[in-house]
Amino acid sequence: MSECIFCKIVARTIPAVLVYEDDMVVAFDDVNPQAPTHTLVIPRKHVASIAELQDSDVGLLGRLMLAGNTIAKQKGIADAGYRFVVNTGAHGGQSVFHLHLHVLGGRHLAWPPG
């Protein structure tokens, strides 16, 4: 997906503040943070949204979530609590069509979301 901005971050052809990476996922700080900690965890492979995942991606989904936990510990927000968000499709508010897990924390997060 040569035009996908997150694929370009994986390929390091555009810059990002990388905070974690392994063989399946890459994580970087959101360029427009909505909380003191706002990091995105993405699969290295292009998957447009969580709705596109297949049964064979169950390991990838687990890795995304576990990487989110690692980042929460790394960022010092694990004890206070944090939130994972996966916006999906138009009504879900998705704006970048490469699956990403938002890791948000560092302040009290309201519920319900907007």
Q: Which of 46, 100, 102, 108 is catalytic?
A: 100
Within 10 angstroms of residue 52's Cβ, the number of other Cβ atoms is: 12
101: DSSP letter: E
Is 108 tagged catalytic?
no
Measured from the CB of residue 2, what is the shortest distance to ligand AMP in angstroms? Answer: 16
Q: Does residue 21 belong to the site contacting ligand AMP (CB under 6 A)?
A: no
Starting at the edge strand found earlier in the chain, the sheet holding 18-21 runs 18-21, 25-29, 37-43, 101-105, 82-85
CA–CA separation, 20 vs 48, rounded Å? 21
Expressed in angstroms, the distance from the first to the final Cα of the chain is 31
Build a one-symbol-per-residue string for 1-20: x at contacts with ligand AMP by CB under 6 A, - elsewhere.
----x----------x----
Residues 39 to 78 in contact with ligand AMP, rule: CB under 6 A: 40
Toward ligand AMP, which CB reaches closer, 2 or 56? 2
Among 7, 21, 74, 87, binds ligand AMP (CB under 6 A): 87
CA–CA separation, 30 vs 7, rounded Å? 15
CA–CA separation, 61 vs 66, rounded Å? 9
Measured from the CB of residue 23, what is the shortest distance to ligand AMP in angstroms? Answer: 21
Q: Does residue 31 belong to the site contacting ligand AMP (CB under 6 A)?
A: yes
Q: Which residues form the interface with ligand AMP (CB under 6 A)?
A: 5, 16, 28, 30-32, 40, 87, 93-96
